[in-house]
């Protein structure tokens, strides 16, 4: 039986996941304007940057500068990635109140992305999360490659659930399940989510689906039927992971909100302003708008 939710929390990841993968360097004022426009569209959770090594991700080298110049609205949660203590210290200095640690269900991807094993990554997160707690900062966890790995192919759902469980044990309040390369299909997405639901309630599990194979919306719908109610998305479908070759953007926020609106599932987002934001950033970056809905409405 379908357990469709009444409300969905949208986590907008375009300023981080979207922009980390752009070839051209994007100026700070464009980033700040994107975040402001997203906030004005009614989005309450925005992942604004990553405190990662600038050698690894040059696009986010301005993370501290961005935090200094960010005009924060009271009711918006601005979050950032922190892979290690150094990142956490920078996040504290940047007055960030929610951070995210990130690992994967695949060893090869973890090595390529954060230069350690899964076990080492979890050990590394322990002091990061402790430090966050001392500063009243909440921590989200990411598991990448939950429906396939660019290096290892198929990924066992038990491994996904195991890593997810470890992240909760370390103190994450929510874990986001990443189909990093977008190869998942609806039944696989459902089975993966069911495996994670054995260890955590749905209110703590987010869907982070990239749309590389055009399956993300179908996968989200399949998981909504189980009651999933947290969705990561990126305006204009911006994004991808530099350590997953060929990985394209996340599902476009416009496409998710259009579908949810049609199903009477509330997100609190102003759809018109959201679509305008997608068109604005696509024009600014001179890239194709990867939202089907955004394209249809131009």
Residue 208 or 276: the one with the smaller Cβ distance to Mg ion is: 208
Is residue 223 annotated as part of the catalytic site, yes or no? no
Please give the torsion angle defined by the CA atoms of residues 88, 94, 99 and 102, in that order, rounded to the nearest 10 degrees. -50
Decide: is 47 part of the binding site for Mg ion (CB under 5 A): no
- If contact means CB under 5 to 8 A according to the sort of partner, which of Mg ion, ligand HMG, none does residue 87 touch? ligand HMG
By CB under 5 A, residue 254 contacts Mg ion: no
H helices of the chain, where? 28-40, 63-69, 85-93, 107-114, 118-134, 157-170, 186-197, 216-224, 253-262, 271-285, 292-297
Structural contact between residues 15 and 47, judged by C-beta atoms closer than 8 angstroms: yes
Which of helix, strand or coil describes residue 56? coil
**Which one, 147 or 275, has the nearer CB to ligand HMG?**
147
Question: Of 17 and 254, which CB lies nearer to Mg ion in the complex structure?
Answer: 17
- Start-to-end CA distance of the chain, whole Å, equals 37
Which partner from the list Mg ion, ligand HMG, none does 131 bind, CB cut-off 5 to 8 Å by kind?
none
Which of 13/285 has CB closer to ligand HMG?
A: 13
Q: How many residues bind Mg ion (CB under 5 A)?
A: 1
Out of 12, 17, 47, 98, the only residue in the binding site for Mg ion (CB under 5 A) is 17
Retrieve residue 237's tokens.
Answer: 């479908």
Q: Which residues bind ligand HMG (CB under 6 A)?
A: 17, 20, 50-57, 83-84, 86-87, 102, 113-115, 142, 144, 178, 180, 208, 210, 241, 243
Contact call for residue 12 and Mg ion (CB under 5 A): no
Q: How many CA atoms lie within 13 A of 56 on its CB side?
A: 13
* Residue 257 interacting entry, from Mg ion, ligand HMG, none, C-beta within 5 to 8 Å by type: none
Q: How far is CA 40 from CA 32, 135, 277, 283, in A?
A: 12, 28, 9, 19
Given 149, 172, 196, 241, the catalytic residue = 241
Minimum distance, C-beta of residue 87 to ligand HMG, in the bound complex (Å) = 3
Question: Which of the stretches 16-24, 42-50, 86-94, 106-114 binds Mg ion when contact is defined by CB under 5 A?
Answer: 16-24
- Residue 52 or 139: which CB sits closer to ligand HMG? 52
Residues 6+ apart with CB under 8 A from 188: 147, 219
Shortest Å distance, C-beta 130 to Mg ion: 26
| Cβ neighbours of residue 258 closer than 8 Å, sequence gap 6 or more | 271, 293
For residue 51, the partner it binds in ligand HMG, Mg ion, none, with Cβ less than 5 to 8 A by kind, is: ligand HMG
Measured from the CB atom, the residue of 179 and 276 that comes closer to ligand HMG is 179
Tokens describing residue 288: 């194709």
Residue 282 to residues 22, 141, 236, 290: CA-CA distances in angstroms?
12, 29, 7, 9
Q: Which residue's CB atom is positioned nearest to ligand HMG?
A: 178
Shortest reach from residue 37's CB to Mg ion, in Å: 21
Q: Who contacts 33 (Cβ-Cβ below 8 Å, separation ≥6)?
A: none
- The contact set with Mg ion (CB under 5 A) reads 17
List active site positions: 241
């Amino acid at each position: 039986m379908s357990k469709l939710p009444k409300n969905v929390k949208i986590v907008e990841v375009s300023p981080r996941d979207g922009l980390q993968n752009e070839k051209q360097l994007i100026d700070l004022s464009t980033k700040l304007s994107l975040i402001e426009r997203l906030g004005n569209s009614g989005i309450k959770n925005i992942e604004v940057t990553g405190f990662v090594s600038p050698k690894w991700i040059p696009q986010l080298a301005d993370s501290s500068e961005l935090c200094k110049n960010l005009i924060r609205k009271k009711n918006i949660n601005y979050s950032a990635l922190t892979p290690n203590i150094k990142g956490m210290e920078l996040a504290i200095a940047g007055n960030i109140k929610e951070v995210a640690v990130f690992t994967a269900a695949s060893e090869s991807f973890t090595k390529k992305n954060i230069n350690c094993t899964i076990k080492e990554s979890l050990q590394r997160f322990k002091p990061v999360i402790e430090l966050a707690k001392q500063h009243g900062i909440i921590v989200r966890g990411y598991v990448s490659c939950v429906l396939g790995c660019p290096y290892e192919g198929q990924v066992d759902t038990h491994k996904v659930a195991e890593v997810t469980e470890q992240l909760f044990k370390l103190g994450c309040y929510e874990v986001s399940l990443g189909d990093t390369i977008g190869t998942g299909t609806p039944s696989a997405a459902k089975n993966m989510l069911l495996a994670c639901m054995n260890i955590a309630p749905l209110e703590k599990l987010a869907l982070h689906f990239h749309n590389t194979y055009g399956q993300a919306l179908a996968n989200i719908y399949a998981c909504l039927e189980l009651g999933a109610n947290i969705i990561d998305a990126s305006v204009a479908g911006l994004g991808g992971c530099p350590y997953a070759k060929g990985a394209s953007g996340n599902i476009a926020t416009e496409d998710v909100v259009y579908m949810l609106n049609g199903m009477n599932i509330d997100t609190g987002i102003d759809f018109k302003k959201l679509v305008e934001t997608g068109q604005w950033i696509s024009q600014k970056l001179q890239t194709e708008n990867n939202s089907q809905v955004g394209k249809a409405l131009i």
